[in-house]
Homo-oligomer: A and B are copies of this chain.
């Protein structure tokens, strides 16, 4: 772009414009905002992004993002560790935590079975879930996957894999609009769909 008299500014705009939903005009506005602020603002932003990217790990137990070996939910002794909620994505953990309706632990699959996009059961943490169903003293496993065909497929696949499991297997109520991802459901609807969970329907 010929209008940039500074290569440093142009490079910063290029990088900002790579973020999702950020066009070049917005990127320029953000860059000029940082130029107008004190240096410490840019340093604080950059450092927090680097700290996040370089130090966040996946919890060894539930595969949610975590600052330590085990995440703050898995290591919270006040949570009900006999109740396990299976979700596709870490954003679903956040969405359910926001409802305040669930006090158990999570298992983050890392997606749902989706052959069209090349995601097979082996790409997900389903074996890890089976291991937890054997090694942990769980009384109930709640399937909280998206209300899509892929989510349903994954539900059935997991249900078959958990044939040995003697506790209850439930799925969140289809109170959330069919076809929607969990993270976009409103908190009341999502909270109720957890409260009204039903025995898994073969």
Binding site for B on A (CB under 8 A): 2-9, 11-12, 14-16, 18-22, 26, 28-35, 39, 41-56, 59, 64-67, 71-73, 90-91, 93-95, 97-98, 100
In the complex, A9→B54 CA distance in Å? Answer: 11
Q: Which of A5, A28, A35, A90 has most chain B Cβ within 10 Å? A: A5
Are B30 and A65 neighbours in the complex by a CB distance under 8 Å? no
19 more CB-based (< 8 A) A-B contacts, given A20-B29, A34-B49, A35-B65: A2-B97, A2-B100, A3-B98, A5-B59, A5-B65, A5-B73, A5-B94, A6-B65, A8-B51, A12-B51, A15-B45, A15-B48, A19-B33, A21-B26, A31-B49, A32-B91, A35-B56, A45-B49, A46-B46
A51 to chain B, nearest CB (A): 5
Number of copies: 2
A87 to chain B, nearest CB (A): 12
Chain B residues within an 8 Å CB radius of A14: 48
Chain B residues within an 8 Å CB radius of A9: 52, 56, 65
Are B6 and A48 neighbours in the complex by a CB distance under 8 Å? no
21 contacts between A and B (CB under 8 A): A2-B97, A3-B95, A5-B59, A5-B73, A8-B51, A8-B67, A9-B52, A11-B48, A11-B51, A12-B51, A12-B52, A14-B48, A16-B45, A16-B49, A18-B45, A19-B30, A21-B26, A35-B53, A42-B53, A46-B46, A46-B47
A68 to chain B, nearest CB (A): 9
Are B46 and A6 neighbours in the complex by a CB distance under 8 Å? no
Are B50 and A6 neighbours in the complex by a CB distance under 8 Å? no
A45 to chain B, nearest CB (A): 4
Identity of the chain B residue whose Cβ is nearest the Cβ of A57 in the assembled complex: B6
Q: A21-B26, A21-B29, A66-B6 are in contact. Are A34 and B52 (CB under 8 A)?
A: yes
